Structure 1
Amino acid sequence: MTMLPAAAFAAPPVLTASATRWSQADAMDAVLQDALAERRIVGATVIAAKNGEIVYERMAGLADREAGRAVAPDEIFRLASMTKAIVCVTALSLMDQGKISLDDPVTRWLPYFRPKLADGSEPVITVRHLMTHTAGLTYGFLEAADGPYHQLGVSDGLDASGLTLEENLKRLASAPLLFAPGTRWQYSLAIDVLGAVIEQAAGMTLPEAVKGLVTDPLGMASVRFTVPEGTVLAAPYGDASPEPARMTDPFSLNFGGSAIVYSPSRAFDATAYPAGGVGMVGTARDYLRFIEAMRAGGVGVLKPETAGAMTANAIGDLQISAGPGFGWGLGVSVLKDPVAAGLPLGAGSWNWAGVYGANFWVDPEAGLSVVALTNTGVYGMSGGFAKALRIAAYPA
């Protein structure tokens, strides 16, 4: 079957630079400078668009501290979990073509993926459960060091495991589910499973499907799963005192229930399986193109109603790890109650972040989209820097 080009829906938005200085530019600058002066982050690119115009773009600090190299305008960062939104949009594009349904059992596409509950029963896991993180799965770094994922050697997709995607998912399917699908929310490897579903439904590799359905239509040339050896990427750093430590390979950082194990060289390894949850790299400007297309109704990629479903709460009153006031859509966190969250963003804003130090948010009410890529995990993702940026982007 011939794949329908995603761009057939509409032309993607064209971002232009604003001719006037944004009112919040000084406040955003101050947040960046404070984080650098406090040696909490090493380098960053922050870019913001309001109603389709780029109103703010700053490169600050060092892309490579040891080499003294400043962050370049086209600096490529590791996106980690900001990959998830792109992979979910790839799946949604296939849904627009009628190739996948939210209610498809995962076993329709992956007959071997049959994890069981602790009592030995085998529940039905659907594509919807994967996209909403309600499948009963988790991440290894969120469990104790002696947990089942560690015992089975399940990769979180950030390390150099040497496994194929199918081998890793078979290990994952051998671990007991944490809960019956649909009854709780738990951040997880579900989008890696979704990546394997996409491969089967599209009849091509995940990188090929993402390229054909999302990144090529939107002109996101830098956003990919691996880059050729010798490509210049921002050097990665991990939280440490008195300043972030340059990541070795591997590099372990205490987080969640145990530790995140990073392998920065994975970005150059063409043989590494494509981790749909954490595996991509890219520039801030290209990622802005992506979220702006979604803010504008999925233009160039999705039908408007499909993009709307992605960014609307899809889990009812289930609680997520982002804290009070948040729900989850089909690939992103959704702000239901700004007061409960203690944020100035409008209700219906959506966002996510990545453990290499990246974060973004989109506020449809304000017409605002912001991407902040740092090379410092995890502070650039979830420390005071991310919240301070969100506050700085709005008038007091």
Structure 2
Amino acid sequence: MTATSSTLDRSALASRIDAVIDAAVGAGSIVGTVVMVAQDGDIAYARAAGHADREAGLATREDTIFRLASVTKPMVAATALAFVDDGVIGVDDPVTRFLPAFQPKLADGSTPVITVRHLLTHTSGLIYGYDPAAGICEGIAGPSLSMAENLARIAGQPLAFTPGSAFRYSVAIDVLGGLLESAAGASLPELVAAKVTGPLGLTDTEFHPSTMDRLATAYADGVDRAVRMNDPHTVSNGEMNFTFSPSRAFDRETFASGGAGMVGTAPDFLRFLEAVRQGGAPILSPASVDLLTTNAIGDFDTSVAGRGFSLGWSIFHHPEASGAPVSPGTWQWGGVYGHSWFVDPIRALSVVSFSNTALAGVGGPYPDAIRDAVYG
């Protein structure tokens, strides 16, 4: 199957994806989900299944609004690159040009230069998983803080490595959000609306839900089936613990998290991906699209063989190394509240899988099975 020689058999595609969804929802591992597949810009598959609120009997709809977690990052990265296009910031500008007080140190006490590029590629030396005693909010839970206070607390922690020397997924996009606010003189929600969601007509994608009756209830992995989240609620994948605060979506006093703070729908996010896949208009230049769609970190370890990272998301430069059926150059990421997505530019495919179930919707059998069902 290629974009030029073959298109998806939609009936067969629907049968394969339906089987995956039915099994997961039927088993209770996924409570509610929306899956959409586009090929060559046309919708090849779209389905909502399960419950947005299981206890209330409220069915999931295609326009159900989800807490996006790290699905926020691509749209904030695009916002930053739109300001690069405008000449307001440069990818190799030091962060201190816009945030003079943001000067975290290495373990030896030295203060290295961190650039916008380092933030976008997660090569800054920042991390996720700070000591709780540091009082840092990492976007999905934690204390209610102003942007300035959270950045000050991050800057007070030692860097894990010299910027530019390794990859580690991190709070870097929260720092980027603060940088954008300083550079452009407006709040991050205003900037994302002006540069990305507004021009693309993503009316349901924002930092705080304006349509409460369509916001999905958050669920978490349980012993026999997913359980309704408490607030806070901690989930473990066996290696790491993830603490969620679903009420953060309503907290207008805390800072807008560029790394995890938005809510939105699957159709909106698919429209965003398709805009980038088709060249960037009306939000980005071709040069910025190249930065989003090209591996920028060489062979740094990203924990998945054959996968690097661009200035916005992961890039499979050698997918055969991990056994993924995607084409070289495929972009992919997700969100810890239960989302996974990928774009295979060679096959002109954009796939969005949203759910209200952490962590089953973001990693493991369900998103892998959705991906494999797309490829048949």
Q: Normalising to structure 1: TM-score of the pair? A: 0.91
The residue aligned with 2:117 is 128
**How far apart are residue 161 of structure 1 and its match?**
1.3
> 1:318 corresponds to which letter in structure 2?
F
The residue aligned with 1:11 is none
The residue aligned with 2:55 is 66
Matched-pair contact (CA < 8 Å) for 2:177–2:188: yes
> 2:103 corresponds to which letter in structure 1?
R
Instruction: Report the Cα distance in structure 1 between the residues aligned to 2:8 and 2:325, rounded to whole angstroms.
Output: 26
Instruction: Report the Cα distance in structure 2 between the residues aligned to 1:19 and 1:370, rounded to whole angstroms.
Output: 13
Structure 2 residue runs of 5 or longer lacking an equivalent are: 1-6
The residue aligned with 1:46 is 35
**How far apart are residue 160 of structure 1 and its match?**
4.9
Structure 1 counterpart of 2:325, from 341, 344, 352: 344
Number of residue pairs aligned between Structure 1 and Structure 2: 370
The residue aligned with 1:98 is 87
Change in Cα spacing, 1:207 to 1:154, as seen in structure 2 (3 Å) is same
Instruction: Report the Cα distance in structure 1 between the residues aligned to 2:119 and 2:55, rounded to whole angstroms.
Output: 40
Give secondary structure in 2 for the equivalent of 1:291.
helix
**How far apart are residue 151 of structure 1 and its match?**
1.9
> 1:344 corresponds to which letter in structure 2?
P
Matched-pair contact (CA < 8 Å) for 2:136–2:142: no
> 2:16 corresponds to which letter in structure 1?
A
Matched-pair contact (CA < 8 Å) for 1:228–1:268: no
Matched-pair contact (CA < 8 Å) for 2:135–2:142: no
How far does the alpha carbon of each residue in 1:249-304 deviate from its partner, in whole angstroms, 9 at most, with x for none? 11112257652221111112222210000011101000000000010011110011
**How far apart are residue 228 of structure 1 and its match?**
3.9
**Could you tell which deviates more after superposition, 54-63 or 264-273?**
264-273
> 2:148 corresponds to which letter in structure 1?
E
**How far apart are residue 317 of structure 1 and its match?**
0.8
Instruction: Report the Cα distance in structure 1 between the residues aligned to 2:120 and 2:239, rounded to whole angstroms.
Output: 23
Instruction: Report the Cα distance in structure 1 between the residues aligned to 2:16 and 2:86, rounded to whole angstroms.
Output: 44
Instruction: Report matched runs for 1:179-328 at 5 Å.
Output: 179-228=161-210, 230-255=212-237, 258-321=240-303, 323-328=304-309
Structure 2 counterpart of 1:331, from 297, 312, 318: 312
The residue aligned with 1:155 is 137
Structure 1 residue runs of 5 or longer lacking an equivalent are: 1-17, 141-147
| Residue 113 (structure 1) aligned with residue 102 (structure 2) | yes
Instruction: Report the Cα distance in structure 2 between the residues aligned to 1:72 and 1:295, rounded to whole angstroms.
Output: 25
The residue aligned with 1:391 is 372
Give secondary structure in 1 for the equivalent of 2:170.
coil
| Residue 366 (structure 1) aligned with residue 347 (structure 2) | yes
Give secondary structure in 2 for the equivalent of 1:217.
helix
How far does the alpha carbon of each residue in 1:111-141 deviate from its partner, in whole angstroms, 9 at most, with x for none? 111000001010000000000000001112x
| Residue 33 (structure 1) aligned with residue 22 (structure 2) | yes
Instruction: Report the Cα distance in structure 1 between the residues aligned to 2:161 and 2:236, rounded to whole angstroms.
Output: 25
Instruction: Report the Cα distance in structure 2 between the residues aligned to 1:115 and 1:257, rounded to whole angstroms.
Output: 27
Instruction: Report the Cα distance in structure 2 between the residues aligned to 1:82 and 1:250, rounded to whole angstroms.
Output: 21
Matched-pair contact (CA < 8 Å) for 1:77–1:234: yes
Change in Cα spacing, 1:258 to 1:29, as seen in structure 2 (3 Å) is closer
**How far apart are residue 39 of structure 1 and its match?**
1.7
Change in Cα spacing, 1:81 to 1:246, as seen in structure 2 (3 Å) is same
Matched-pair contact (CA < 8 Å) for 2:63–2:214: no
Matched-pair contact (CA < 8 Å) for 2:137–2:144: no
Instruction: Report the Cα distance in structure 1 between the residues aligned to 2:11 and 2:291, rounded to whole angstroms.
Output: 31
Q: Percent identity?
A: 48
How far does the alpha carbon of each residue in 1:300-336 deviate from its partner, in whole angstroms, 9 at most, with x for none? 1001121122111000110113x11100000100011
Matched-pair contact (CA < 8 Å) for 1:81–1:355: yes
How far does the alpha carbon of each residue in 1:154-193 deviate from its partner, in whole angstroms, 9 at most, with x for none? 1111115111111011111111100000111000000000
Instruction: Report the Cα distance in structure 1 between the residues aligned to 2:277 and 2:210, rounded to whole angstroms.
Output: 32
**How far apart are residue 341 of structure 1 and its match?**
1.8
The residue aligned with 1:80 is 69
How far does the alpha carbon of each residue in 1:51-99 deviate from its partner, in whole angstroms, 9 at most, with x for none? 0000100001111111111102210011100100000000000000011
The residue aligned with 2:3 is none
The residue aligned with 1:354 is 335
Instruction: Report the Cα distance in structure 2 between the residues aligned to 1:118 and 1:265, rounded to whole angstroms.
Output: 36
Q: Normalising to structure 2: TM-score of the pair? A: 0.95
> 1:261 corresponds to which letter in structure 2?
T
Change in Cα spacing, 1:117 to 1:227, as seen in structure 2 (3 Å) is same
Give secondary structure in 2 for the equivalent of 1:370.
strand
Instruction: Report the Cα distance in structure 1 between the residues aligned to 2:264 and 2:11, rounded to whole angstroms.
Output: 25
Q: CA RMSD in A?
A: 1.6
**How far apart are residue 342 of structure 1 and its match?**
0.8
Instruction: Report the Cα distance in structure 1 between the residues aligned to 2:29 and 2:91, rounded to whole angstroms.
Output: 41
The residue aligned with 1:139 is 128
